[in-house]
């Protein structure tokens, strides 16, 4: 008897505390009981549902037909990412749900009730849709931008070769994809240095700049200025290297391509800011406008200290600028300020901008809001401490 009581308590705890929405109803689809998660998903109390009919609250002819089929056939039904629009709350828009409907049998095998389990996957679907849209936009940028864009895998093989690459080299994407870029496009004396640049990128996962020749299919050489960055997985391992290139063979072409490069950078979601060596802002992309709330015309010409808390001037000078000027590259997590006064955690990836003779001429910074990650880490830390104290 004690074991049964204990099991009942365990089941009750699971029912009331799981994030899965659970409802128990009779074969006419009247609610007998719902758990807290189910009620909260609709902004109600569990008691609100008791005795009410599911399809009076959530009318849907297709779902009602499925419910009848489960009762008649006594077989469970599974649905993934099913769209649902609340008739009485259209402002919620279209939601998406993973749900299962299980028949409950008596000892004779007769269906006496139904258990409905639901998981709201709306945010997941919206994320997938946003990623698809972003992928399509990225593809359009890659193919329409005048800049040379080549994407390599972690071993250095070409996986993307845009139209500008095809135009300048005479090779098609089909000819180049799957090949090592240094085996087909580089002059012999530059193969080793380019491999070294690639190794530094994949090992350190930091943006870099480099200039080297590409040899076209017809033997012509073109001097390319490269801006390289990386894509990493959830573990921080580099999965791809993205190289954005400008044909520097002719000065006129260089100037035109730099304008296109600035346009592409302006579309990067993260904040990209450049300053001179005194820390005066010289460029401020749209990502920076979105992140900090300042328009470019408000930011350009100001000391970069204006986005740092006033009481952290020493941190800016000693932990941000000084290490960057000493090492040429620097990564750090800091607190930054928005125009609204709100402070947030940010990851800064910094590098020095250099002239053709390798002299430092400015500073380049990528800023990413990591507030959610930091809060999650702190929550996990507190949870770990609580567990250790038990």
Range of the domain at 383: 268-390
Q: Is the domain of 215 the same as that of 276? A: no
Q: Is the domain of 88 the same as that of 160? A: no
d(CA 19, CA 21) in angstroms, rounded, equals: 6
d(CA 95, CA 126) in angstroms, rounded, equals: 9
Chain centroid, CA 207 distance in Å: 18
pLDDT tens-place string over residues 170-183: 999 999 999 998 88
209 within 8 A of 194, measured Cβ to Cβ = no
For 285-370, where are the alpha helices, taking DSSP H only? 286-292, 296-299, 313-315, 322-327
Report residue 1's pLDDT band, with 50, 70 and 90 as the boundaries.
very low
Chain centroid, CA 279 distance in Å: 29
d(CA 263, CA 32) in angstroms, rounded, equals: 60
Q: Is the domain of 146 the same as that of 116? A: no
Neighbouring residues of 307: CB distance < 8 A, sequence distance ≥ 6: 292, 294, 336, 337
Q: Is the domain of 168 the same as that of 199? A: yes
CA distances from 139 to 9, 145, 163, 336 (A): 54, 10, 11, 32
pTM: 0.38
pLDDT tens-place string over residues 31-71: 999 998 899 888 899 999 999 999 999 888 999 999 999 99
Q: Which helix (H) or strand (E) segment is 13 a member of? A: helix 2-17
* pLDDT at position 259: 60
Number of domains in the chain: 3
* pLDDT at position 270: 78
* pLDDT at position 332: 94
Least confident of 179-188, 253-262, 314-323: 253-262
Report residue 321's pLDDT band, with 50, 70 and 90 as the boundaries.
very high
Position with higher pLDDT, 247 vs 299: 299
Mean pLDDT of the region 219-229 = 90
- Among 98, 120, 142, the domain-final residue is 120
Q: Is the domain of 275 the same as that of 261? A: no
- Among 67, 86, 120, the domain-final residue is 120
Q: Is the domain of 74 the same as that of 160? A: no
Report residue 216's pLDDT band, with 50, 70 and 90 as the boundaries.
very high
* pLDDT at position 179: 94
* Average model confidence (pLDDT) across the chain: 86
128 by DSSP, 3-state: which?
helix
Least confident of 221-230, 251-260, 310-319, 360-369: 251-260
For 20-159, where are the alpha helices, taking DSSP H only? 36-41, 46-49, 54-57, 61-73, 122-144
Q: Is the domain of 169 the same as that of 140? A: yes
Q: Is the domain of 113 the same as that of 135? A: no
Q: Is the domain of 183 the same as that of 160? A: yes
Q: 89 pLDDT exceeds 80?
A: no
Position with higher pLDDT, 124 vs 67: 67
Q: Which domain CATH number covers 138?
A: 3.30.450.20
- In degrees, rounded to 5, the angle at the alpha carbon of residue 54 between the alpha carbons of residues 50 and 58 is 125
Q: Is the domain of 232 the same as that of 249? A: yes
- Among 265, 300, 326, the domain-final residue is 265
Q: 156 pLDDT exceeds 80?
A: yes
Q: Is the domain of 132 the same as that of 252? A: yes
Q: Is the domain of 192 the same as that of 142? A: yes
């Amino acid at each position: 008897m004690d074991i049964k009581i204990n099991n009942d308590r365990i089941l009750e705890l699971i029912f009331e505390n799981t994030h899965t929405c659970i409802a128990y109803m009779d074969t006419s689809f009247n609610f007998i009981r719902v758990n807290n998660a189910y009620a909260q998903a609709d902004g109600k109390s569990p008691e609100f549902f008791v005795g009410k009919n599911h399809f009076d609250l959530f009318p849907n002819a297709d779902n009602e037909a499925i419910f009848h089929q489960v009762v008649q056939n006594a077989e469970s039904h599974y649905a993934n990412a099913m769209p649902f629009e609340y008739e009485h709350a259209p402002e919620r828009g279209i939601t998406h749900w993973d749900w299962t409907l299980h028949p409950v049998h008596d000892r004779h095998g007769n269906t006496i009730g139904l258990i409905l389990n639901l998981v709201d996957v709306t945010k997941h679907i919206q994320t997938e849709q946003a990623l698809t849209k972003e992928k399509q936009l990225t593809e359009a940028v890659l193919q329409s931008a005048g800049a040379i864009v080549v994407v390599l895998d972690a071993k250095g093989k070409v996986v993307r070769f845009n139209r500008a690459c095809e135009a300048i080299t005479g090779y098609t994407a089909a000819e180049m994809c799957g090949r090592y870029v240094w085996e087909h496009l580089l002059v012999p004396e530059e193969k080793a240095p380019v491999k070294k640049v690639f190794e530094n990128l994949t090992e350190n996962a930091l943006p870099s700049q480099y200039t080297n020749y590409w040899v076209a299919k017809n033997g012509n050489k073109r001097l390319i200025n490269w801006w390289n960055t990386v894509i990493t997985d959830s573990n921080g391992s580099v999965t791809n290297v993205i190289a954005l290139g400008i044909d520097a063979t002719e000065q006129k072409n260089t100037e035109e391509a730099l304008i296109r490069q600035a346009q592409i950078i302006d579309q990067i979601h993260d904040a990209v800011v450049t300053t001179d060596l005194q820390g005066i802002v010289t460029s401020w992309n749209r990502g920076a406008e979105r992140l900090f709330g300042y328009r470019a015309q408000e930011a350009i010409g100001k000391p970069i200290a204006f986005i740092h808390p006033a009481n952290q001037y020493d941190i800016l000078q000693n932990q941000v600028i000084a290490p960057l000027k000493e090492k040429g590259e620097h990564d750090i997590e800091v607190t930054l300020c928005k125009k609204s006064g709100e402070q947030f955690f940010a990851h800064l990836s910094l590098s020095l901008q250099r002239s053709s003779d390798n002299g430092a001429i400015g500073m380049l910074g990528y800023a990413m809001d990591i507030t959610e990650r930091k809060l999650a880490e702190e929550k996990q830390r507190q949870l770990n401490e609580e567990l250790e104290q038990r």
